[in-house]
Amino acid sequence: MTPSHDRSRVFINEVAPRDGLQIESRFVPTEEKIQLIDALSQTGLAKIEATSFTSPKAIPNLRDAEAVMQGIGRVPGVGYVALVPNEKGAERALACGVDEINLVLSASDSHGLANLRMTADASLVRFAGIVERVRGSGVFINASISTAFGCPFEGEVPFKRVLAITEKLLALGVEGISLCDTTGMANPRQVADLCREVRSRWPWLPVTLHVHNTRGMGLANALIAWQNGITRFDAALGGLGGCPYAPGATGNVCTEDLVHMFAQMEVETGVDLERLVAVAERLPALVGHDVPGQVVKAGLATRRYPLPSSLSEAT
């Protein structure tokens, strides 16, 4: 743990409109995406990853990225982020006035080639030009390192590879890093080790943890990252999410479950949980199926039930 780091406040980047909707079998109509993002904007979230500027052939569900970015109401204080894989995506994102570009590359070349048709080195070459173009525009440049904790094709991804990629991204001028557990392979010990290492090498660097709950370890991984100095988290409303080019991928850690955990621990998230839950309750109708989030089903931990009638009559 880094003692100098203030852990009493965490920052949530809501990724359901991007990581969530990209994998749904149903194309969520543009107007419904806009309504979802507008509702999320009223909940106190720090950031919203609203869409991705990718090839419409690769990610057909987000082919309406421009219309979404232009249709949403921007709430001051909320950062609107877009995922970008290449130069064309960066140009499209800049034209829409995003607050943050989230460059994506993969730590494992097998996943990089399946998802982006690029190895990590190829992505890095292309990012150099993008950073050059974006720098000075006021748009924050983050980079997400997919498969940082394991690859569904290759298995283990060595720490030193993730650290080397981080080093190269920072040398290019990238300003923030997200460590992504794309298919829920990370375990808490591994998360603790990598987060500690990254925080001790680059204490000034905004580092975000992006975990999927594929094997039920999402909240455990987020908690241990927080215990090791990470205060920024990607999460998806309802636990939606997944990469269409990573076999076995399922949803992100669920935003309302994560916010609820921190709220119970009296860690400030800035999020109005009841408002967030109200938005999450609308998700099954939006995507056409049940969603994994648990707090919406169970109610908050502050929920109380009447005593069974046998007991209440006896007292």
Chain contacts with Zn ion (rule: CB under 5 A): 19
Q: Name the residue type at position 67.
A: A
**Closest separation in Å from C-beta 85 to ligand COA:** 4
Q: Whole-angstrom Cα distance, residue 141 to residue 124?
A: 14
Instruction: Find the binder of ligand COA among 20, 44, 79, 85 (CB under 6 A).
Output: 85
- Under the binding rule (CB under 6 A), the answer on residue 110 touching ligand COA is no
Instruction: Find the binder of ligand COA among 41, 51, 102, 146 (CB under 6 A).
Output: 146
Residue closer to ligand COA, measured from CB, 182 or 190: 182
Residue closer to ligand COA, measured from CB, 123 or 221: 123
Residue closer to ligand COA, measured from CB, 5 or 26: 26
Q: Whole-angstrom Cα distance, residue 42 to residue 37?
A: 9
Q: Name the residue type at position 88.
A: K
Residue closer to ligand COA, measured from CB, 57 or 297: 57
Residue closer to ligand COA, measured from CB, 67 or 223: 67
CA-wise closest residue to 19 among 257, 283, 252: 252
Contacts with ligand COA by CB under 6 A: the residue count is 19
- Under the binding rule (CB under 6 A), the answer on residue 86 touching ligand COA is yes
Residue 311 exposed, middle or buried by CB count within 10 Å (0-12, 13-18, 19+): exposed
Residues 6+ away with beta carbon under 8 Å from 277: 256, 295, 296, 300
- Specify whether 254 is catalytic: no
- Under the binding rule (CB under 6 A), the answer on residue 93 touching ligand COA is no
Specify the pairing of strand 11-14 against strand 47-52: parallel
From the DSSP assignment, how many helices (H) and strands (E) are in the chain? 13, 8
**Closest separation in Å from C-beta 114 to ligand COA:** 9
- Under the binding rule (CB under 6 A), the answer on residue 238 touching ligand COA is no
**Closest separation in Å from C-beta 18 to Zn ion:** 9
**Closest separation in Å from C-beta 246 to ligand COA:** 8
Kindly identify the residues of this chain, within the stretch 17-36, that bind ligand COA according to CB under 6 A.
22
Helix residue ranges per DSSP H, the chain? 30-41, 65-71, 87-95, 109-116, 120-134, 159-172, 188-201, 218-227, 255-264, 273-280, 283-287, 295-298, 309-314
**Closest separation in Å from C-beta 15 to Zn ion:** 7
- Under the binding rule (CB under 6 A), the answer on residue 59 touching ligand COA is yes
Residue 170 exposed, middle or buried by CB count within 10 Å (0-12, 13-18, 19+): middle
Encoded tokens for 6: 């203030």
Interaction site with ligand COA (CB under 6 A) = 22, 52-55, 58-59, 85-86, 88-89, 92, 104, 115-117, 146, 243, 245
Catalytic residues: 243
